[in-house]
Amino acid sequence: MLNFFKKPGFRGGVHAEEHKTVTAALPIVSDFPLPKKLYIPLQQHVGKPAEPVIKVGEKVLKGQLLAYSQGLISAPVHAPSSGVILDVNDYPAPHPSALPIRTIVLETDGKDEWIATQTVDDPFLLDPEEISFRVGAAGIVGLGGATFPTAVKLNMGRENHVDTLIINGSECEPYLCCDDRLMQEHAEKIIDGVRLMLHGMRTEQAVVAIEDNKPLAFAAMQAAAEAHASIKVIQIPTRYPMGWDRQLIRYVTGKEVPVGCRSSEIGVTIHNVGTAYAVHKAIRYGQPLLSRIVTVAGGAVKRPMNVEVPFGTLISELFSFCEVNADETARIVMGGPMMGDSLPHTGLPTVKATSGILALAQSELKSSDEQPCIRCASCVSVCPAGLRPLDMANNIRINQLDAAVDLGLKDCISCGCCSYICPSNIPLVQFFKYASGEVVARQQAQHKSEQTKRLMDARNARMERIAQQQREDELARIAAKAERERLKAEQQGALV
């Protein structure tokens, strides 16, 4: 069995102001009015976008497959409600750039009519491979924000003979408490999902790790897991970013995931509590992933809440339901304030990754009054990845991106601890996000130019081969002509 807390180690991190009390105390709202139109992006997960199987004008039922997964790492997309397909086209993505991505627009008919689903009396009689297959077909991805296809992780866990499944109930980002409420209200279903994941991976033990600022969720989960010796529910200290998978693995197991390795390679797999809940619904009732609980909070929200919304719901509709004051909204954030994305407007849809939508008032934002670095090294001591943020930022300022990479830029998880703690208000994480994007863009450009050079070299070699062949053909033709003329001359000489 695991030796919990034998080598507890939490590297860096901060005690961020939580802002969770109001929403964590309210039951999940489940009567969100069905939107008239849903905008369902085909890329809501890590990997290749899904490929549509429906046509414009087609009627669909709730839960019907709209787009299938392409390739090994991908996930299908299903209809969150019944209605008619209005369009398959480019629409703004829920991303800071709001650049368009391929999206299916569904006009709902208000009936919310389900397609026939497949229930299973005893899913533990299914083969483990069948569990992964059904999880994949249900379009389930990591609901903690990573959106990695869950079936792929289950398969990797089985193939790598993972011995420990960690269920992440830390929810360490400020404001967010959708997982907290889910654990309080649906603990037994989550534990059932955990048991199904263990079966799907052929793994014997699971640890559910919950931060100690969620005592009610901890109590509910402990009670639900009591009858299952293979599942242990533990409390972990509240500290951001406890939910980072490497941090959690180090804290729970004492194991370090080597750089460049996946956790399954050291015998551990992590899934989120929301993912376990989705697995329960998919395997027991054949229900694909169509909706999720979203925390709507922030100083500009009059009715903050955790609310279940179908994917494709526009943030504007969510904000109107929660009575968000547009004039008081200084920033819209998808996810938590530390790692979430700032969005340019509310005409963007909620997707599988949408754990929260925040409407933050000016008073909740960090001052933008940047001062010179005082070399206090606070950013170094809070960095969970063990980096030197001030040195990386200094190199990025003078466009020395290679030097920043040498200092570990690629290991930065954009957690924002350094920016949060910096007394000089230096937006360190913004430097790292910008530089990481730039490094990727440069690598892609270099890859493209190398590919172009390879194609040019291959073309030149082919042209040279053709020219050589033409020269040889010409020489052969001249030689044949000379031979014919010689023979002709011989024949004429013989006749004379």
Contacts 24+ apart (CB under 8 A), 129-132: 129/158, 131/196, 131/197, 131/199, 131/200, 131/283, 132/158, 132/200
CA distance 302 to 319: 10
Residue 318 or residue 379: which is nearer to ligand SF4 going by CB? 379
Asked if 180 contacts 287 with a C-beta cutoff of 8 angstroms, the reply is: no
Distance from C-alpha of 322 to C-alpha of 344, rounded to nearest angstrom: 19
Residue 42, C-beta contacts closer than 8 angstroms, at least 6 positions apart? 49, 50, 51, 52, 67, 77, 101, 102, 103, 104
214 vs 246 by CB, closer to ligand SF4: 246
Is residue 428 part of the contact set for ligand SF4 (CB under 6 A)? yes
Binders in 395-424 for ligand SF4, by CB under 6 A: 412-418, 421-424
State the nearest-atom distance from the C-beta of 389 to ligand SF4, in Å. Answer: 4
Please identify which residue in the block is written with the tokens 């941090």: 247
- Choose, by CB under 6 A, the member of 296, 432, 435, 436 that binds ligand SF4: 432
Kind and range of the H or E element at 234? strand 231-236
By beta-carbon proximity to ligand SF4, the closer residue of 316 and 414 is 414
Q: Residue 383 class from Cβ within 10 Å (0-12 exposed, 13-18 middle, 19+ buried)?
A: buried
Task: Give residues 339-398 in contact with ligand SF4 (rule: CB under 6 A).
Answer: 373-379, 382-385, 387, 389-390
Q: With respect to ligand SF4, which residue has the nearer C-beta, 63 or 416? A: 416
Q: How far is the CB of 434 from ligand SF4 (least distance, A)?
A: 12
Q: Which is nearer to ligand SF4, 279 or 390 (CB)?
A: 390
Count of residues interacting with ligand SF4 (CB under 6 A): 29
- List of E strands, 263-390: 268-272, 291-297, 305-310, 331-334, 341-343, 356-360
Task: Write down the least CB distance from residue 72 to ligand SF4, Å.
Answer: 29
Long-range pairs, 401-405, Cβ under 8 A, ≥24: 401/435, 401/438, 401/439, 401/442, 404/435, 405/439
The distance of closest approach from Cβ of residue 221 to ligand SF4 in the complex, given in angstroms and rounded to an integer, is 29
Provide the terminal-to-terminal Cα distance of the chain, rounded to the nearest Å.
109
Q: Report, in Å, the least distance between residue 209 CB and ligand SF4.
A: 21
- Rounded to the nearest whole angstrom, what is the least distance from the CB of residue 410 to ligand SF4 in the complex? 10
Q: Which stretch binds ligand SF4 (CB under 6 A): 132-140, 287-295, 428-436, 478-486?
A: 428-436
Site string for ligand SF4, 446-485 (x = CB under 6 A): ----------------------------------------
Give the residue with the Cβ less far from ligand SF4, 9 or 71.
9
Tokens of 71: 């390739």
Shortest Cβ 147–ligand SF4 spacing (Å): 20
Least CB distance to ligand SF4 at residue 13 (A): 9
Residue pointed to by tokens 């001030």:
390
In terms of CB distance, is 162 or 392 closer to ligand SF4?
Answer: 392
If the CB atoms of residues 11 and 284 are measured against ligand SF4, the closer one turns out to be 11
Contact 253, 228 (CB under 8 A): no
Asked whether position 257 contacts ligand SF4 by CB under 6 A, the answer is: no
380: helix, strand or coil: helix
DSSP 30-67: --PPPPSEEEEES--SSSBPPEE---TT-EE-BT-EEE
Q: How far is the CB of 256 from ligand SF4 (least distance, A)?
A: 16
Q: Does 426 bind ligand SF4 (CB under 6 A)?
A: yes
Cβ-based nearer residue to ligand SF4, 242 or 289? 242
Residues 87-116: x/- map of binding to ligand SF4 (CB under 6 A)? ------------------------------
Q: Is 178 near ligand SF4 (CB under 6 A)?
A: no
DSSP of 116-171, one letter per residue? P----S-GGGS-HHHHHHHHHHTT-B-TTTT--BHHHHHHHHHHTT--EEEEEE--
Complex with ligand SF4: residue 293 or 404, whichever CB lies closer: 404
Which tokens belong to 297? 């909070």
Instruction: Enumerate binding residues for ligand SF4 (CB under 6 A).
Output: 373-379, 382-385, 387, 389-390, 412-418, 421-424, 426, 428-429, 432
